[in-house]
């Protein structure tokens, strides 16, 4: 099952696609405006966004660019126009795929599954990650900072790899508990805080003077190359 965010202003289309996708096993949330959609995309961290280009409050392509600035979430664009030029325009703006209106829930579901399969392949856990002077190789489980090996516990390594694979993205403690600790429900934020502080120390930085690990108060943490 995947969490799909549907950004579509037409209430009838929104209702029928939501039902159609739920029937096909997806969890669906929806937003009728670009700004609501952007907010939900950040707050709910869906697995995939279906974005209608014709929204009342903002051009869909502008929204796509804003979304791309804060998230790598796969996006399927729903457009009324067809043709090579339109396709190139959408893919250049960061869309992963597109569907031409009108389309059925069956067709959209097939596109969603194809995009998610492709993204899963690209995100395969064995690819090494470089962020600034940090290099993390999950195959050898070695991490280096400016060429110097870091002495990390297995959990610290997993935490660093998870964050580094999402450079610049704010990751919540809930997400870390789910994916790094494999605790889908419950678990204590404190656990994450403690490991983050250990990791921070091994990276040679402090929360007062962060370099790679930036705390976003009340939300989570972000790993990014120092400015
Ligand atoms: Ca529309």
Q: Which CATH number covers residue 210?
A: 1.10.10.10
Q: How many residues make up the chain in this entry?
A: 227
CA of 80 to the centre of ligand 1 (A): 9
111: CB partners within 8 A, 6+ apart: 76, 97, 99
Collect contacts of 15-18 with beta carbons under 8 A, ≥24 apart.
16/105, 17/50, 17/105, 17/108
CA of 8 to the centre of ligand 1 (A): 6
Q: Let me know whether 101 and 156 are in one domain.
A: no
Domain span holding position 28 = 3-126
Segment 109-136 mean pLDDT: 84
Q: Let me know whether 190 and 165 are in one domain.
A: yes
Q: Let me know whether 168 and 200 are in one domain.
A: yes
pTM beyond cutoff 0.85: no
CA of 160 to the centre of ligand 1 (A): 40
Amino acid 117: pLDDT: 82
Q: Let me know whether 133 and 102 are in one domain.
A: no
Amino acid 124: pLDDT: 59
Q: Let me know whether 154 and 97 are in one domain.
A: no
Is 126 a residue whose pLDDT tops 70? no
Q: Let me know whether 89 and 135 are in one domain.
A: no
Amino acid 122: pLDDT: 66
- Taking the C-alpha atoms of residue 131 and residue 167, their distance in angstroms, rounded to an integer, is 7
CA of 77 to the centre of ligand 1 (A): 11
Is 86 a residue whose pLDDT tops 90? no
CA of 145 to the centre of ligand 1 (A): 47
Number of domains in the chain: 2
Q: Let me know whether 141 and 116 are in one domain.
A: no
CATH of the domain at 79: 3.40.50.2300
Q: Let me know whether 105 and 194 are in one domain.
A: no
Q: Let me know whether 120 and 150 are in one domain.
A: no
- Give the whole-number percent of the chain exceeding pLDDT 90: 67
- Taking the C-alpha atoms of residue 120 and residue 83, their distance in angstroms, rounded to an integer, is 28
DSSP percent split of the chain into helix, strand, coil, nearest 5: 40, 20, 35
Phi-psi region of 147 (alpha: psi -120 to 50; beta: other; left: phi over 0): left
C-beta atoms surrounding 205 within 10 Å:
16
Residue ranges with CB less than 5 Å from ion ligand 1: 9, 52, 54
Amino acid 209: pLDDT: 92
- Please report the DSSP string for 114-147 in residue order: HHHHHHHHHT-TTS-EEETTEEEETTTTEEEETT
Is 121 a residue whose pLDDT tops 70? no
């Amino acid at each position: 099952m995947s969490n799909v965010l549907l950004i579509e202003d037409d209430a009838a289309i929104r209702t029928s696609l939501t039902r159609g996708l739920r029937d096909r096993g997806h969890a669906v949330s929806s937003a009728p405006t670009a700004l609501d959609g952007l907010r939900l995309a950040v707050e709910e961290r869906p697995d995939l966004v279906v974005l209608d280009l014709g929204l009342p409050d903002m051009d869909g392509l502008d929204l796509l660019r804003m979304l791309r600035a804060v998230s790598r979430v796969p996006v399927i664009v729903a457009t009324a126009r067809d043709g090579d030029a339109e396709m190139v325009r959408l893919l250049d703006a960061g869309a992963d795929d597109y569907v031409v209106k009108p389309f059925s829930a069956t067709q959209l579901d097939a596109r969603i599954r194809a995009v998610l399969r492709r993204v899963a392949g690209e995100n395969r856990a064995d690819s090494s990650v470089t962020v600034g002077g940090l290099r993390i190789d999950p195959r050898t489980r070695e991490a280096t900072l400016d060429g110097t090996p870091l002495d990390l516990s297995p959990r610290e390594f997993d935490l660093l790899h998870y964050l580094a694979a999402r450079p610049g993205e704010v990751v919540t403690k809930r997400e870390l508990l789910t994916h790094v600790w494999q605790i889908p429900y419950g678990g204590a934020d404190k656990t994450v805080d403690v490991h983050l502080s250990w990791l921070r120390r091994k990276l040679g930085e402090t929360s007062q003077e962060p370099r790679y690990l930036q705390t976003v108060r009340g939300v989570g943490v972000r790993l990014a190359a120092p400015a």
